[in-house]
Structure 1
Amino acid sequence: MPLLVMKFGGTSVADLARIENAAKKVQAEVARGYDVIVIVSAMSGETNKMVGFVEGTSKLYDAREYDAVVSSGENVTAGLLALRLQEMDIAARSWQGWQVPINTTSAHANARFVSIPREHIDAKFAEGFKVAVVAGFQGVSAEGRVTTLGRGGSDTTAVAFAAAFGAERCDIYTDVDGVYTTDPRITNKARKLDKIAFEEMLELASLGAKVLQTRSVELAMRYKVRLRVLSSFEDTDENSGTLVCDEDEIMESKVVSGVAYSRDEAKVTLVRVEDRPGIAAAIFGPLAEAGVNVDMIVQNISEVEVGSVKGATTDMTFSCPTNQVARAQKAMEDAVAAGMITYDGIVVDSDVAKISVVGIGMRSHAGVAATMFKALSKENVNIKVIATSEIKISVLIDRKYMELAVQALHDAFELEKA
């Protein structure tokens, strides 16, 4: 039988009525002739509740016990969905991560996949079972301990199973009906995309779009797993949602496919750092060790002695999430204390947002940056930092202009048009 992987997020299985709705969607695919592997998240809010229990019990908790607790929500959902399917006369069985087994590294709360053996689930399909309901977000380490994959890990679980089992497609059911050109809450001109390339989706996910978890898109792109994003609250067919696929499946792309934003950004500047070989490594090495997720980086010469490069200094600016600013400052203070760097001061601007335009069409079209900057200029939006790649341009701006900038860029690139 052809195989399909279906994933249901927390809002899609938030209560028994929604679990029944998910079961009906699985039933429809079984009726179409598929064997189905269903990956489920915990009911909406359950994981946060479990995290609260752990933190309320122990501030310096054992990460192994943390994983044992927070992974429990998915187990409940998997069992309930399997029971509901059985009541609908569909041969279904639930699986926890250790039962498959989903083999992972031992990095608790942020484990990575090692392997997903097929034998046990394939044997059940051979016995006549039609559906395997697997708890997402979890696995088992070589030591036999339960592990979790980090927030959004159920998306990654679904893609990993689709790759391991050679599934025809991986359908991600969520509370939106597809991938849009930008957030519909910001502009009513936002348009749902029928198809989007892996590279574009990866950029949008990493730049702030919340539709898919970044690791899941990376895995899908590596193993060429066709993803479909669609709503669990609407009637769907084979043409519903947005297909995330290889660039070759898209006949002709617009130059820009979408506008993404991230409001929780901060701009950090080290003023008058000594300009010498190795200074970047001396700055960004400690930041990496401290777990600071650095994104945009700008370096410029701030002072040079006339006729000589001696005494030259540089200002080094980078962006990071606002909740990592304190960690970044501490890392820099420690680097100074260790004699690795010197600077005159740190300037932090925590009131910025990152706006990005993304499109594989940028590879073959000039003038995207000029259009973007002109559109922002017309709205008197000042650009603080610019970063580019082959298929994206990102800028940092004052956060108060974020929605205005998104609307202006959506209009400038005419993304409302198919």
Structure 2
Amino acid sequence: MALMVLKFGGTSVADSQRIRHICSLIARAYDGGNQVVVVLSAQGHTTDRLMDQALELNPNPSGRELDMLLTTGEQISISLAALCMEHMGYEAVSLTGWQAGIRTTDDYTQAQIQSVSPAAIKKELARGRIVFVAGFQGVDAWGNLTTLGRGGSDTTAVALAAALRADVCQIYTDVDGVYTADPRKDPTATKLEEISYEAMLDMAQHGAQVLHDRCVILARRHNIPIEVRSSFHDVPGTWVRNLVAQEHAS
């Protein structure tokens, strides 16, 4: 039995049809005899819409209240997905960032993860449940909700994988892996089977949108291999991992 952490972005949970689709992928992973933790982003442009509403009412909002508002987007996603899994006959539970034990700094809208205490997740996994965790969020030392900024859900997934000592961390996106260039702009771009943390970090810092640099740095620190996969096409993705260690081992 493997422990898998799967992360799905906003386009993957944009509507009911897509939520049903990712739930079928999650069910397949669970039916393979695995324990499954799923990190979800907010649906589509939910975060942008919430931000627009906030700025309409207050052009100079406080960070605390913004984070209180913005964390609701991911909570909608995880509860809808858990309801979908229940209808499919699976036991599932949704947890907010703070319920999942994610502790952060109090840098509102750009908080950093300080620690993860996964006891609640482990308890639910032991019950045989699929666990959905809200990405992009946590709680500070004073109990205030916080958000992690751009790439926050990817960072959440890697942090959970490290804390749980997961066997697999898969990041599902709208592309089927990491390419030598943006395949939507360059038809000659080719998909990589694997890439080192260092090379991926360099691409992220030069504008590649596949993984945020904070996510890659965290994965490298804890040596968590990441598979970047498509949530729309069932094909192998790209592994982001420590290739130097592999070469030495061989």
Secondary structure in 2 matching 1:97: coil
Alignment partners' CA distance in 1, 2:229 and 2:153 = 16
* Partner of residue 109, structure 1: 109
Amino acid at match of 2:5: V
* Partner of residue 60, structure 2: 60
* Partner of residue 12, structure 1: 12
* Partner of residue 124, structure 2: 124
* Partner of residue 338, structure 1: none
Q: Deviations over 1:226-272 (max 9, x none)?
A: 10001100124xxx0000011236659xxxxxxxxxxxxxxxxxxxx
* Partner of residue 195, structure 2: 196
* Partner of residue 90, structure 1: 90
Secondary structure in 1 matching 2:133: strand
* Partner of residue 378, structure 1: none
- Deviation of 1:38 (Å): 0.2
* Partner of residue 77, structure 1: 77
> Using a 3 Å threshold, how does the CA distance of structure 1 residues 191 and 251 change in structure 2: closer, same or farther?
farther
Amino acid at match of 1:121: I
Task: Report 1:140-219 matches (<5 A).
Answer: 140-219=139-218
* Partner of residue 318, structure 1: none
* Partner of residue 260, structure 1: none
Of the structure 1 ranges 187-196 and 243-252, higher mean CA displacement relative to structure 2 is found in 243-252
More strand by share: 1
Amino acid at match of 1:202: L
Secondary structure in 2 matching 1:98: coil
Secondary structure in 2 matching 1:93: strand
TM-score (norm 1): 0.58
Bigger radius of gyration: 1
8 Å Cα contact 2:10-2:43 kept in structure 1 = yes
- Deviation of 1:128 (Å): 2.5
Amino acid at match of 2:94: S
Alignment partners' CA distance in 2, 1:108 and 1:141 = 9
8 Å Cα contact 1:12-1:175 kept in structure 2 = yes
* Partner of residue 245, structure 1: 241
Q: Deviations over 1:182-220 (max 9, x none)?
A: 112332111000000010000000111111111000100
Q: Structure 1 residue 47 and structure 2 residue 47: aligned?
A: yes
Alignment partners' CA distance in 2, 1:142 and 1:12 = 32
Amino acid at match of 1:16: S
Alignment partners' CA distance in 1, 2:194 and 2:65 = 41
- Deviation of 1:2 (Å): 1.8
Secondary structure in 1 matching 2:5: strand
Structure 2 gap ranges (5+):
none
Q: Deviations over 1:374-410 (max 9, x none)?
A: xxxxxxxxxxxxxxxxxxxxxxxxxxxxxxxxxxxxx
8 Å Cα contact 2:121-2:131 kept in structure 1 = yes
8 Å Cα contact 1:195-1:250 kept in structure 2 = no
- Deviation of 1:86 (Å): 1.0
Q: Deviations over 1:360-381 (max 9, x none)?
A: xxxxxxxxxxxxxxxxxxxxxx
- Deviation of 1:136 (Å): 0.3
Secondary structure in 1 matching 2:98: helix
* Partner of residue 401, structure 1: none
* Partner of residue 30, structure 1: 30
8 Å Cα contact 2:4-2:35 kept in structure 1 = yes
- Deviation of 1:100 (Å): 1.7
Secondary structure in 1 matching 2:117: coil
* Percent identity of paired positions between Structure 1 and Structure 2: 44
Instruction: Give every structure 1 segment of 4 or more consecutive aligned residues whose post-TM-superposition deviation is greater than 4 Å.
Output: 249-252
Structure 1 gap ranges (5+):
253-418
TM-score (norm 2): 0.96
Alignment partners' CA distance in 1, 2:161 and 2:48 = 27
Alignment partners' CA distance in 1, 2:61 and 2:238 = 41
Give me the CA root mean square deviation: 1.3
Alignment partners' CA distance in 1, 2:172 and 2:16 = 16
Amino acid at match of 2:208: A
Alignment partners' CA distance in 2, 1:191 and 1:46 = 32
**Number of equivalent positions:** 248
Q: Which structure has the higher relative contact order (CA within 8 Å, separation 6+)?
A: 2
Alignment partners' CA distance in 2, 1:86 and 1:107 = 36
- Deviation of 1:121 (Å): 1.3
Secondary structure in 2 matching 1:243: strand
Task: Report 1:229-308 matches (<5 A).
Answer: 229-236=228-235, 240-248=236-244
Alignment partners' CA distance in 2, 1:249 and 1:33 = 29
Alignment partners' CA distance in 1, 2:128 and 2:195 = 36
Alignment partners' CA distance in 2, 1:170 and 1:132 = 14
8 Å Cα contact 2:35-2:128 kept in structure 1 = no
